[in-house]
Amino acid sequence: MPVAVGLEVTDDLELHLALRHKIFCESELLRCPGPARYGATGDDPHLDEFDRHALTLCVLHEGAPVATGRLVVGPRLPSASFLRESPGFPRDLDLTRGAEPSKFGLLAEHQGTSLGSRAIHRLIGAVVHEAGLRNLSPAILCLRPAMFGLLRWVPWQMYAPFHLPRSIAHRMSEEPLFPVTLLSHELVTAAMAKPMIAELVFPEGTPEWFDPSRSRSPREVDQVALGNVRQFRAHMTDWREAAAGHPVRRESTGAPFLLRAALGALG
């Protein structure tokens, strides 16, 4: 049975907003003031100025919404201002045709399940497909450890992680966030080298906009992904030791490990 059976993607704005409110504002992790549903009054703290120039997407399973996200179109992106101050992040990176996936959310009952994993992969594929159609590149985003673990096959360009101060972050943020950039064509190369992933991420086959000349080879992108896994594990080991009050055994790549950033800069 195809892995993408039962999964559909819609750009229905109202569906996206309702699910986003349910995930981010009705969960036990973060309760928001304001109405029970995402309204037009702006009471929801997850409503921001970037919604005005974002493409919204929602994944449905057998007609019911399970995951959602948005693709913010540049040149002004939610994370760009503070990522440029992140050690090792290329300050001269041209984001005039860039994009940023953000506000990714999965219903709590599907977290850690096969359906949840498939829904997130399908959402990633939809976001990348829309970015490719619009020739938006690169994508920039901040990965939580759980998201990196799920998408460790992706050839991200990773930079030194940062940590939000506990005083301004709810407990979902009390962990490193990994700034990354991504080229759409290289994600297609990586996905197409793995049939089961390709069937889920791009169920209609290789996107028509894919240009192999704008990507490294399958072997090269696979080596990038493997290198990211090693770097990720080293950073997580350092973070756990630091959180436990033990000395960090190695230097983090390029800069101090804990970089303070304002929560309001996150998309």
Domain ranges in the chain?
7-265
Q: What is the CATH number of domain 7-265?
A: 3.40.630.30
| C-alpha separations of 147 from 68, 152, 220 in Å | 14, 8, 22
CB 46 within 8 A of CB 18: no
CB 130 within 8 A of CB 124: no
Q: Is 143 helix (H, G, I), strand (E, B) or coil?
A: strand
The residue among 66, 143, 62, 65 whose CA lies nearest residue 100 is 143
| Separation of alpha carbons 18 and 20, rounded Å | 5
Tens place of pLDDT per residue across the chain (267 aa) = 345 557 999 999 889 988 988 888 776 455 555 444 434 444 555 677 888 889 999 999 999 999 999 999 988 888 887 787 777 788 888 888 899 998 899 998 998 899 999 999 999 999 999 999 999 989 998 888 888 988 999 999 998 887 654 433 444 446 788 889 999 999 999 999 999 999 999 999 999 999 999 999 999 999 999 999 999 999 888 888 877 776 544 443 333 222 222 222 233
